[in-house]
Structure 1
Amino acid sequence: MTKNNRGFLNVLCLGLLCGGMVLAQEAGVDVPTEAASGGTSLWDILYGGSIVNLLIWIGLFGTSFVMVWLAIDGFLIVKKDKLIPAGVVTGVREALSQGDLGTAIATCDANPGALSNILRSAFDNINDGYEVVQQAVSSSTDLESEKLMQRVNYLNICGQIAPMLGLMGTVTGMVAAFAGLASATGAAKAKLLAQSISTALWTTCVGLIIAVPALLFFTYFKNLATRILLETEVTVLDLIKVLRNAEVEGE
């Protein structure tokens, strides 16, 4: 990845992590970055009086970074011109139309990818008959789909982990909040409880901010990858249909 892409990734991660706090400030919630009399500092939110809470925030930050990284990776990988290169289609079509199987294989070898892998599986089984070739194409397409979906599924994992981390942070924060009430008396007790609960709920808020786009990206890339891979299989079957004609003519 280029330096410009890395810089964009870092900026996007930072914006995602701070988005919830910005929205809260616009809504009138007091989230100061420095401790004030009776207020809540950013460190109070991140640390929350417990190292466990800090570890949960580190997990949320890491999940958000991975989510953004996978989203960028999806935009770079799950593309029609990436999975179905026009050069490979044209080169294989011209080679097969001239009966030059060797050139078609060389074209696939020179341009590795999902389409080339599926075509190679067809060429490797050409001596076993056209029905076997079709089965090889179908099996190879399923394999390429599984390989691609393994990368896309990580977005789904991020979408599930983030709210769970957020809920864990809220639960641990609530436990600490009620435990701290033992040392408070009078009106200070209610104020301490409200402040502690508000701080604890930040993890759930940020977890949802991460989970929603992660699941949206997952659904988008999953549907797009499925459609493109089905189109890839159709393209391969269209390219190799001349092999069936050649086999019939040879009988």
Structure 2
Amino acid sequence: MFTTAIEFFQNGGFYMYPIAFVLALGIAIAIERFIVLTRERVRNRQIWQDLQPALNAGDFRKAHEIATRSQAALGRMVAYGLTRVGAGRRAEDIELALEEGLMEILPRLEKRTGYLGMFANIATLLGLLGTIIGLISAFAAVANANPAEKANLLSQSIAVAMNTTAFGLIAAIPLLILFSYLQSRTTEIVDSLEMAAVKFTNMIRKVQMEREVAQTAQAARQPAGTAPRA
């Protein structure tokens, strides 16, 4: 099989090399994106486990320190929201801050993934171009050949020219599969960030409501004419 693959590649002509380069570059980008997205997913899960106790306890300062130190996308997004907490801001302001953080993170998650779809199209077009150039050369070569040998030479030349189309499709199909897979992984991370933003907002609202209820109860317990404690 290895010998057959080498002969197939050598018989394809010049355009086999740019197709191979596009395939190798696409695979390298896919590996890099897979590592980044997998690492981001693990980091987001870990930072959320670290943030939950502080958020549930209403210790926003500690939560902000944890989020600021983290390199996870979720940590950066939560840090945006925590900067609006405790400054008399409304819940809508916190949600806008979370959306701002998400909009900053999204391009980093989608970085270079779109190239895979482009490389798949380039590989297919290079294969077709190589076949057309090969057919032109084949017809030009048999134009002055012996009539008895024309059919044999033409069939051999066409078979060689079709190698580039086959290799272009061989390169394009896995690139498209990798493109779709990485897009789905990116969508999963974005969905998890949006879900975490909703949970974070609900936690903030719950803590703020509990504090307001506690302050109201404390003010109700104060004797008449006594100033409430600071």
For structure 2, the residue ranges without an aligned partner over 5 or more in a row are 216-230
Matched, 1:171 2:138: no
Q: In the alignment, is the contact (CA less than 8 A) between 2:95 and 2:201 conserved in 1?
A: no
- Helix, strand or coil at the partner of 2:71: coil
Aligned mates of 2:20, 2:67 — CA distance in 1:
41
Aligned mates of 1:224, 1:95 — CA distance in 2:
29
Partner of 2:35: 76
User: How do 1:147-186 and structure 2 match up within 5 A?
Assistant: 147-186=108-147
Matched, 1:227 2:211: no
Normalising by structure 1, we get a TM-score of 0.73
- CA-based RMSD of the aligned residues comes to 2.7
Offset from partner CA, 1:140-195 (integer Å, 9 cap, x none): 32442333223321221121111011111111111111121233121222222111
Asked which structure has the greater RCO (Cα within 8 Å, sep 6+), the reply is: 2
Q: 2:202 aligns with which of 230, 238, 241?
A: 241
Matched, 1:115 2:115: no
For structure 1, the residue ranges without an aligned partner over 5 or more in a row are 1-14, 23-31, 34-40, 47-53
User: How do 1:118-129 and structure 2 match up within 5 A?
Assistant: 118-126=77-85, 127=87, 128-129=89-90
Q: In the alignment, is the contact (CA less than 8 A) between 1:118 and 1:140 conserved in 2?
A: yes
Matched, 1:188 2:155: no
Which structure's CA Rg is the greater one?
Answer: 2
Aligned mates of 2:69, 2:148 — CA distance in 1:
75
Q: 1:138 aligns with which of 80, 99, 104?
A: 99
Aligned mates of 2:187, 2:43 — CA distance in 1:
13
Q: Which moved more, 1:215-224 or 1:79-88?
A: 79-88
Aligned mates of 2:144, 2:171 — CA distance in 1:
35
Shift of 1:44: 4.3
Q: In the alignment, is the contact (CA less than 8 A) between 2:70 and 2:76 conserved in 1?
A: no
Offset from partner CA, 1:34-80 (integer Å, 9 cap, x none): xxxxxxx864433xxxxxxx2x3221111111222233223323338
**CA distance change for structure 1 residues 137 and 42 in 2, over 3 Å: closer, same or farther?**
closer
Shift of 1:84: 5.0
Matched, 1:85 2:52: no
Aligned mates of 2:160, 2:62 — CA distance in 1:
65
Aligned mates of 1:88, 1:136 — CA distance in 2:
19
Q: In the alignment, is the contact (CA less than 8 A) between 2:76 and 2:101 conserved in 1?
A: yes
Q: How many residues align?
A: 210
- Helix, strand or coil at the partner of 1:112: coil
Aligned mates of 1:42, 1:129 — CA distance in 2:
64
Q: 1:199 aligns with which of 157, 160, 170?
A: 160
1:117 counterpart letter in structure 2? R
Normalising by structure 2, we get a TM-score of 0.79
Q: In the alignment, is the contact (CA less than 8 A) between 1:162 and 1:207 conserved in 2?
A: yes
2:21 counterpart letter in structure 1? G
Q: Which moved more, 1:116-125 or 1:70-79?
A: 70-79
1:236 counterpart letter in structure 2? A
Q: In the alignment, is the contact (CA less than 8 A) between 1:83 and 1:228 conserved in 2?
A: no
Partner of 1:97: 56
- Helix, strand or coil at the partner of 1:85: helix
